[in-house]
Amino acid sequence: MADNNVNSSSPAENQNHSSDETINPITNQSEVSIDAIAQKVQESMSISKRHKFWETQPVGQFKDVGNPTLPEGPIEPPTPLSEVKQEPYNLPGPYEWITCDMDTEEMCAEVYNLLANNYVEDDENMFRFNYSKDFLQWALRPPGYYRSWHIGVRVKSSKKLVAFITGVPAKIRAKDTIVNMAEINFLCVHKKLRSKRLAPVMIKEVTRRVHMENIWQAAYTAGVVLPTPISTCQYWHRSLNPKKLIDVGFSRLGARMTMSRTIKLYKLPDSPITPGFRKMELHDVPAVTRLLKEYLKQFIVAPDFDENDVEHWLLPKEDVVDSFLVESSETHDVTDFCSFYTLPSTILGNQNYSTLKAAYSYYNVSTKTPMLQLMNDALIVAKKKGYDVFNALDVMENEGILKELKFGPVRYREIQHLKTIIWKKCSDSSSCLGGVVVDNLQTQNQHRLEDSISCATFASNV
Ligand SMILES: CC(C)(COP(=O)(O)OP(=O)(O)OC[C@H]1O[C@@H](n2cnc3c(N)ncnc32)[C@H](O)[C@@H]1OP(=O)(O)O)[C@@H](O)C(=O)NCCC(=O)NCCS
């Protein structure tokens, strides 16, 4: 979800530019910020912090971190299907479960409204994710999806939707093993029902429904540290419309910077510079699938995409997902690929602006065009399409190029944690994970992994 944390749409701390910092304005800040992140993670991972719910679940536990004797593989073996609980978990009396039919406009609108008013906000409550209905339908109906995994809670008397959680199927490769998983996302409890332990019931119910399909592992992300992340990562932000970002409080004008110098700093060319750079089309699906599969082999944990997945997740959809590729003029081979998805945030309490239009880096593959140039072309098209900011996680190869492209890191509280309830024993480096979770993705039923993976998100998921 990931969660991307959500957190994603919060003010970047990249604006403290001095006059001689224009080439790489964020270096010092990012070093400070990364120290702060490391410290925060260590604090949060202290075993003295109790997790009444998560300590009962088949996930890696903090007390086991660093224990070399634990075997690699599932923490809990599958149960015979006949032993899976057939009835839903009990909800408090006034509430009832529903299965959300995301094909219908009415249901989509209800879910949209719940999330638009109650989903993830930044720490200062200035921005809240505003997933569009089209985005929700895209994120929740990939190939092979189960309607029963789109779960709502209503008030019986008023029928008002007050909570939501979802899963979608995904094949995730961990080392050499491809595991059928659920990707859990969009966990949301209405603001008025918080801290009543409803979230654990929702997580148990989605887990039960996943088990009913004979699936025993899941993946998810969150903006809070839960037992136990296999990887952590953070969002970086690249200003495209710096004046608006500063006006709405997303960014700050750097010390000794004027608005006009800031605008100049973030200026981009009018059109992509790479010859053969064009929008992905339906007939490109096989070539993009080949390119992506080959690329993702280098990561310890990554999605295992087939052509149907690529068509669903990466074929451009207006205001949902944009994908571009580089086609060689001589051979007509597709040599490079880049993509981003659209996730606006509502700007809370600002008289002049109501929406922040954000692009989120998704999958990028370079074989001929340097990654830096490819990503710069993605920034150029995003700017041209009217996005205010371009966000990217420091996953896959992103970390090495973010500073050079004038991205700045978020503050430490906004770090995103990826955990798997299935594997455990990971170390910390975000480059092992191949994938980007669209928002906060969560995993369940953990395995243990020999190497640790810090970070990331699996690309498929929203
Ligand atoms: C996340 C949210 C559903 C949690 O609900 P809540 O009412 O605050 O918490 P509850 O009292 O129901 O449950 C608390 C338990 O849920 C766990 N929890 C909280 N946030 C969680 C998350 N994002 N993912 C998984 N578990 C989470 C807590 O750790 C706690 O379990 P523990 O005692 O083992 O630590 C709610 O705060 C919310 O809707 N927030 C806005 C949207 C959001 O942040 N969604 C999550 C995106 S990752």
Ligand 1 atom 47: residue of nearest CA: 3
Has residue 460 been placed in a domain? no
In the chain, count of helices (H) and strands (E)?
A: 10, 21
Ligand 1 atom 4: residue of nearest CA: 199
Per-residue model confidence as pLDDT tens digits over 266-278: 999 999 999 999 9
Task: Report percent pLDDT > 70 for the chain.
Answer: 78
Has residue 9 been placed in a domain? no
Has residue 221 been placed in a domain? yes
Has residue 14 been placed in a domain? no
CB-defined site of ligand 1, < 6 Å: 1, 3, 6, 51-54, 118-120, 187-189, 194-200, 222-224, 226, 440, 442
Ligand 1 atom 39: residue of nearest CA: 188
Predicted confidence at residue 460, as pLDDT, reads 29
Q: How far is CA 296 from CA 99, 138, 289, 303, in A?
A: 34, 22, 11, 8
**Sequence-distant (≥ 6) Cβ neighbours of residue 321 within 8 angstroms:** 138, 313, 314, 315, 339, 340, 341, 342, 362
Has residue 20 been placed in a domain? no
CA of 303 to the centre of ligand 1 (A): 26
Which residues in the chain land under pLDDT 70? Answer: 1-48, 410-462
Closest ligand 1 atom to Cα of 199: 12
Q: How far is CA 92 from CA 197, 201, 350, in A?
A: 10, 10, 37
CATH number of the domain residue 410 falls in: 3.40.630.170
Q: Which of 46, 151, 183, 194 has most ligand 1 atoms within 8 Å of CB, for mutation? A: 194
Has residue 120 been placed in a domain? yes
φ/ψ bin of 69: left (φ > 0), alpha (ψ from -120 to 50), beta (otherwise): alpha
Has residue 17 been placed in a domain? no
Closest ligand 1 atom to Cα of 4: 48
Q: Which of 189, 190, 444 has most ligand 1 atoms within 8 Å of CB, for mutation? A: 189
Predicted confidence at residue 45, as pLDDT, reads 53
CA of 441 to the centre of ligand 1 (A): 13
Predicted confidence at residue 76, as pLDDT, reads 86
CA of 227 to the centre of ligand 1 (A): 13
Predicted confidence at residue 370, as pLDDT, reads 97
CA angle 42–44–49, rounded 5-degree value: 125
Domain extent at residue 100: 27-448
Per-residue model confidence as pLDDT tens digits over 431-445: 445 554 433 232 333
Predicted confidence at residue 396, as pLDDT, reads 83
Q: In total, how many domains does the chain have?
A: 1
Ligand 1 atom 5: residue of nearest CA: 199
CA of 415 to the centre of ligand 1 (A): 16
> Does residue 238 contact residue 390 with C-beta atoms inside 8 Å?
yes
Has residue 7 been placed in a domain? no
Predicted confidence at residue 450, as pLDDT, reads 32
Long-range contacts (CB closer than 8 Å, 24 or more residues apart) made by 173-177: 173/296, 173/301, 173/302, 173/303, 173/304, 174/300, 174/301, 174/420, 174/422, 174/423, 174/447, 174/449, 175/300, 175/301, 175/449, 175/450
CA of 115 to the centre of ligand 1 (A): 14
